[in-house]
């Protein structure tokens, strides 16, 4: 029926977002030139999407155990109940998609100026903490912490050992000048 189709389309949309995020975060984690972008993508995949997957398993477990919160009279599982369980995830998944799209800018293109850098991601995430949505604010804070931790690891190598990072140099604020003498 049309109402059931409408309910299922919202779940299908969530599923599409999840699959796309899995694919894109894997691509960023494996190929992005920025260490910070790689760290943020890995966190989205291993923490945020893993939490969504746990929610799916939790709802499924409730249905299989015939929990009164999931299964109604005559063993009927109301579709509205299932959709309601995942409603809070729609906004988060759409926001994670925005984060991933920001990080994918310039990937595969020849112009380095268009690429997303770690600084751009950190700035974007800090700005996202002021959306007015508590769940987005928390997620943005967690991803900002991940991004800043990755940046601090680069800084620590330079401060403690005088070494520039061998990977993700675009994220770092100190660069080797061509023809400069190393001591």
When pLDDT is cut at 50, 70 and 90, the band that residue 34 belongs to is confident
CA-wise closest residue to 93 among 172, 181, 24, 156: 24
Average pLDDT over residues 83-101: 93
The b-or-e profile of 2-16 (16+ CB within 10 A means b, else e) is eeeeebeeeeeebee
- Give the position of tokens 């140099």: 169
When pLDDT is cut at 50, 70 and 90, the band that residue 119 belongs to is confident
Q: Give dist(CA 69, CA 57) in Å, integer.
A: 15
Residue 110 has pLDDT above 60, yes or no: no
pLDDT at 176: 60
When pLDDT is cut at 50, 70 and 90, the band that residue 177 belongs to is low
Q: Give dist(CA 103, CA 115) in Å, integer.
A: 8
Q: Which residues contact 142 (CB under 8 A, 6 or more apart)?
A: 43, 47, 48
Q: What are phi and psi of 136, to 5 degrees?
A: -70, -40
Write down the mean pLDDT value for the chain. 84
> 35-39, 48-52, 143-147, 178-182: which has the minimum mean pLDDT?
178-182
Supply angle C-alpha 20, 25, 30, rounded to 5.
135
pLDDT at 170: 65
Residue 182 has pLDDT above 60, yes or no: no
| Predicted confidence (pLDDT) per residue in 54-64, tens digit | 999 998 888 78
- Give the position of tokens 């729609």: 90
């Amino acid at each position: 029926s049309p109402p059931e189709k409408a309910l299922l389309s919202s779940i299908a949309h969530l599923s599409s977002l999840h699959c796309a995020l899995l694919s894109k975060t894997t691509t960023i984690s494996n190929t992005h030139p920025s260490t910070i972008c790689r760290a943020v993508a890995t966190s989205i995949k291993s923490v945020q999407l893993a939490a969504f997957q746990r929610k799916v398993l939790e709802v499924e477990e409730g249905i299989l155990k015939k929990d009164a919160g999931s299964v109604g009279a005559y063993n009927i599982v109301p579709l509205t109940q299932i959709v309601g369980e995942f409603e809070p995830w729609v906004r988060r998944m759409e926001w994670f998609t925005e984060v991933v799209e920001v990080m994918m800018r310039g990937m595969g293109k020849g112009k380095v100026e268009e690429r997303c850098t770690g600084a751009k991601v950190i700035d974007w995430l800090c700005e996202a903490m002021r959306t007015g949505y508590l769940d987005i604010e928390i997620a943005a804070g967690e991803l900002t912490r991940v991004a800043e931790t990755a940046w601090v690891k680069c800084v620590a190598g330079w401060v403690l050992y005088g070494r520039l990072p061998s990977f993700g140099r675009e994220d770092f604020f100190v660069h080797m000048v061509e023809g400069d003498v190393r001591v």
